[in-house]
Amino acid sequence: MKIAFIMDPLEGVKAHKDTTYYIMLAARQRQHQVFYLDQNDLLARHDRLYAELTPVDVHADIERPFTKHDSSIVPMDEMDAVMVRTDPPFDRRYFYTTLLLDLLPPTTVVVNRPRGLRNWNEKLSALHFARFNARTLVTRRKDQILEFMEESGKRVTLKPVDGFGGRGVVFLDPGGPNNDQLINLITHNGSHMVIVQDFIPEARTGDKRILLLNGEPLGAVLRKAPKGKELNNLDAGGSAHPAEITPFEREMCAQMKQGMLDQGILLGGIDILGDRLIEINVTSPTCLQELCRFTGKDFHHDIVAAVETLSTEAKAV
């Protein structure tokens, strides 16, 4: 197979923990051809999609993970599969990338499906499974945020709807002296939507990332904030630890499975605080290397095998 990976620049990849690198490594170990491109490398000529593709050899040596070869402009429909692994934010450029990928024929499998990337905002999509959520408000208005907090009289968490990696998250306490200032900051003076949720005390002991393949949970990783900090995200300095999936969390995954399949989400990740669903990650879910290391299982090969199956089925239609 020929598999193209749309991702951030190879030079910035941290091979010791990067999920995309690990999937690319499995693809090469399974004798597939691997190609790299950035979103900026895409172009359309009339109704056909092209890209400046760079063939890549992928090595298990994390000090020298990639060998790049000469790039050339190639029709993207010559690829058997395209894996979209660009990190958030899901901005206008990301949106246009998904529209261009819609030009590909069904014989070229796109993972995750462009429609699903557009439809499932990583924070708002969790609202489709409200019984698993914390008490939630989505708004841009300061008065509604303050009223929401006053209803419970407890701490709340505010996150930008298009945020990622813990960026932009703030915490408000009832009567806090800087509440107005923080709300104006995160909402850009009322022009940006934010998600407001009851603060979940269990956040202090870590948040759980569950990776799902074809809607089925592979396993879980617990992310813990560094001492003196509140954000558990690995990008914010958090650390990864082994974790088990509870029966309630398996029920949660089962409730989401059909929705993920309908949206074409082959590889997803859900974030859980306590027993509350916080986010559904679909753009470039991480923690795969940590999960493989903790369990001793080659889930990166399982992911590539699933892409192989999709490609075979697509060509058989």
Running DSSP on this structure, what letter comes out for residue 188?
T
The enclosing domain of 99 has a CATH number of 3.40.50.20
Query: Torsion angle, CA of 132/135/140/141, rounded to 10 degrees?
Result: 160
Q: What pLDDT sits at residue 232?
A: 65
Q: Which two tokens stand for residue 25?
A: 């490594």
Over the stretch 219-253, which tens digit does the pLDDT of each residue have? 999 999 888 776 667 766 789 999 999 999 999 99
List C-alpha distances in Å: 221 to 11, 96, 302. 26, 32, 18
Over the stretch 266-296, which tens digit does the pLDDT of each residue have? 999 999 999 999 999 999 999 999 999 999 9
Domain assignment present for 29: yes
79 and 23 within one domain: yes
* Residues spanned by the domain of 182: 135-199
Domain assignment present for 121: no
List C-alpha distances in Å: 112 to 77, 181, 310. 16, 38, 12
Domain assignment present for 282: yes
Strand pairing of 239-243 and 267-273? Answer: unpaired
List C-alpha distances in Å: 315 to 51, 82, 116, 304. 22, 15, 21, 17
Q: Which two tokens stand for residue 11?
A: 């030079």
> With a cut of 70, which residues of the chain have pLDDT below it?
230-232, 235-236
Q: What pLDDT sits at residue 96?
A: 97
The enclosing domain of 166 has a CATH number of 3.30.1490.20
Domain assignment present for 34: yes
Judged by DSSP in three states, 210 sits in strand
Query: How far is residue 275's CA from residue 252's CA, in Å, rounded to a whole number?
Result: 10
Structural domains in the chain (count): 3
Q: What pLDDT sits at residue 236?
A: 63
17 and 82 within one domain: yes
**Cβ atoms of 114 and 102 closer than 8 Å:** yes
Domain assignment present for 97: yes
18 and 106 within one domain: yes
Last residue of some domain: 199, 230, 246? 199
291 and 206 within one domain: yes
The enclosing domain of 262 has a CATH number of 3.30.470.20
211 and 181 within one domain: no
Residue length of the chain: 317
Domain assignment present for 61: yes
Domain assignment present for 214: yes
